Amino acid sequence: MGIRNGGARLDKARFGNFVVDRSAGELRKNGIRVKLRDQAFEVLTILLERAGEVVTREELQQKLWPADSLVDFDHGLNKTINRIREALSDSALTPRFLETLPRRGYRFIAPVEEVVRSAAPPEPPVNTPLPPTPDAVRVPLRRRYWLWASCAALVALAAAAVTAATLLRPKPPLPRPTLAVLPFANLSPEPDSDYFSDGLTEELIYTLGRTPGLRVISHTSSFALKGKGLDLRETANRLGATVALEGSVTKSAGRVKVRAQLLEVAGERKLWSQTYERNIRDILAIQDNIASAVAGHLIDPMNAPHKAGTGTANAAAHDAYWMGTHFLNRLSRDAAPRAKDYFEQALRLDPQYADAHAGLSRYYEQARWLRLMPSKEAILLQAAAAQRSVELNDELPEAHVALGEAKNLSDQDWNAGEREFRRAISLNPSYVPARQFLMFQLTHLGRKEEALQEAAHALELDPLSVPLNEFVAETLFVFREYDRAFKQAKKGVEMDPSFARGYHSLARCYLKQGAFDKAIEAFGKEEELGYGFRPALLGYAYALAGRRADALKYIREEETIRRDENIHALAIAQTYVGLGDKNSALNWLEKAYQEDPNWLGDLAVRPELDSLRQEPRFQRLLKRLGLPGN
């Protein structure tokens, strides 16, 4: 079978710097033979025959894998395609020659040209003298030598110039790979040891996110698909990933065994794999080895990431830190105090452990909005823990995020807060909380385009995060993009109907649509699924719906319980706005500022307060908060 291209039969074909000789059964690169096994060579020639067309897996099976073959076809074909790619130095991520069409087949995408076998030149007749060289073109031997030398020098100079131009010409950038680190399977016999495999997964996500040129999907989205029974390709597609890192962890009797493999999604090709079996104290070294290997295969070994700082040499402190992170990620009033206990335990074991200080600062941030303690107290403790973490290790993004938020809330120092968020992003461009808090910051300052850009970046890195989806819906709502906000809010509720906060944005959109009953119903759902707190806009919704008696009752109840339940005065102020009582609304806003200004960060952009914007008292309040006025 010869090689065809465009309908013409070819015995010899060239593509790039390769030549395939069908009759000789050879693949050569720049004239040097490249080893390629018979079956792989046959598949390559079939693809060359149909260059530019899709060759289905079924066609290849019929031609090269007979029905009575004992070899598994899928495994055999995948292995064969990988061999071809290796021989051609090609990649499924950025193919130059061989393109994979998932679930369909393959296509040879490079131009293929015929190489015509040249015939030997005819020999001159016997005894036929060669024609004499005319005197006019005869060159003396010495002149011929210098002419030849001059030409050779010019050719060499030209070649050098071409070579230099080629070397100096910047190579076109390769598409940036997107990596999903999937939750490592816990194979440990020890009970309740998921925290360990989950902790390793999170650390790898965090560490690899520091790699220049590599986009890493957030742990929130990676863990969202844990236990869903999806295959690798479907999981990666839902995450928007082109490569995936997966593995398992077995922890027992002071030893740990970690298996890791890096897979290319489109071609389902294994790029790298390794098994580590060491003392459990070496878990950080294992983590760094895995991260370096992954970065080396996807980007450049010189850009291999590292865990910022030394962390801790105390294995028990590190274990306690992972336990704290495990409970903090549950985002619940019951789990958060347990997280605090573990972070404090880690710090008792190693007071210089910067990660544990950063974890403690994240706990205080969470305790504030879970209302586990008064807001002012939580912010001061958050700032202190974050500051200590930064002093111990200036390269921890989470510490800079916590410190930036604290500077915003405690001092209303928006410039300092923004610097901290941007510092965190520079340290780890894939760290979603940094982009999320920068989005909040830009939103509060009314910088719409920048805020929406950060929202897009965050969603790209964390596409399945329900909380992030809600935050983006609120951002769109604040910027009066009400239709887009409504679609985003509905999407969030569909993603997870049990997430209480998702109904908050949906209810706000219903209010703007005049669908007051639906809004009140959504606020009721928020209260039912949440932590027992009454939504801060429920009284406002009653007022807009014409239910004045319910709105006034809401105010009386809030006034009664707000001290004990840490209810903020803003809820009462907004209810008075809905009732049209501007003076009472402004009185309560000023009381809110005096008691705790930390809940007023979005005062300059909150749509529910639009009727107050022209009031001098409102403008003075914005100025005290350091927020932009009209």
| Number of domains present in the structure of the chain | 4
Half-sphere exposure for 45 (CA within 13 Å, toward CB): 24
* pTM more than 0.75: no
Tell me the mean pLDDT in the region 376-394: 92
The angle subtended at Cα 147 by Cα 145 and Cα 151, nearest 5°, is 115
pLDDT for the residue 118: 42
pLDDT for the residue 303: 52
CATH of the domain at 272: 3.40.50.10610
Per residue in 278-314, pLDDT (tens digit) is 998 888 888 888 988 898 888 765 555 555 444 788 8
- Whether 264 maps to a domain, the answer reads yes
Locate 511 and state its tokens. 């209010």
For residues 365 and 259, state if they share a domain: no
Tell which of 376, 396, 428 closes a domain: 428
Tell me the mean pLDDT in the region 20-46: 85
pLDDT for the residue 127: 38
- Whether 387 maps to a domain, the answer reads yes
Q: CA torsion, points 13, 15, 16, 17, in degrees to nearest 10? A: -20
Half-sphere exposure for 455 (CA within 13 Å, toward CB): 24
For residues 320 and 264, state if they share a domain: no
- Whether 60 maps to a domain, the answer reads yes
- Whether 559 maps to a domain, the answer reads yes
Tell which of 254, 280, 307 closes a domain: 307
- Whether 568 maps to a domain, the answer reads yes
For residues 182 and 299, state if they share a domain: yes
pLDDT for the residue 158: 44
Tell which of 287, 307, 327 closes a domain: 307
Per residue in 574-609, pLDDT (tens digit) is 999 999 999 999 999 999 898 888 888 899 999 999
Dist CA 486 CA 512 (whole Å)? 10
Half-sphere exposure for 587 (CA within 13 Å, toward CB): 7
Q: pLDDT: is 190 or 184 the higher one? A: 184
- Whether 507 maps to a domain, the answer reads no
Per residue in 314-360, pLDDT (tens digit) is 888 988 998 999 999 888 888 999 999 999 999 999 999 999 999 99
Per residue in 439-487, pLDDT (tens digit) is 999 999 999 999 999 999 999 999 999 999 999 999 999 999 999 999 9
618-621 own/partner pairs: CB under 8 Å, 24+ apart: 618/586, 618/589, 621/586, 621/589, 621/590, 621/593
3-state secondary structure 246-272: EEEEEEECCEEEEEEEEEECCCCEEEE
Dist CA 301 CA 7 (whole Å)? 44
- Contact between 320 and 327 under an 8 Å Cβ cutoff? The reply is no
- Contact between 321 and 347 under an 8 Å Cβ cutoff? The reply is no
Half-sphere exposure for 401 (CA within 13 Å, toward CB): 26
Burial, 371: exposed, middle or buried (Cβ in 10 Å; 0-12, 13-18, 19+)?
middle
The residue among 64, 98, 280, 307 whose CA lies nearest residue 193 is 280
Domain housing 592: 536-630
Q: Which helix (H) or strand (E) holds 160?
A: helix 141-168
Provide the 10 A C-beta neighbour count for residue 564: 7
For residues 389 and 413, state if they share a domain: yes
DSSP classification of residue 614: T
For residues 303 and 406, state if they share a domain: no
Per residue in 49-106, pLDDT (tens digit) is 888 888 888 888 887 765 544 346 666 787 788 888 888 887 776 677 888 876 678 8
Per residue in 240-277, pLDDT (tens digit) is 999 999 999 998 888 999 999 999 988 778 899 999 99
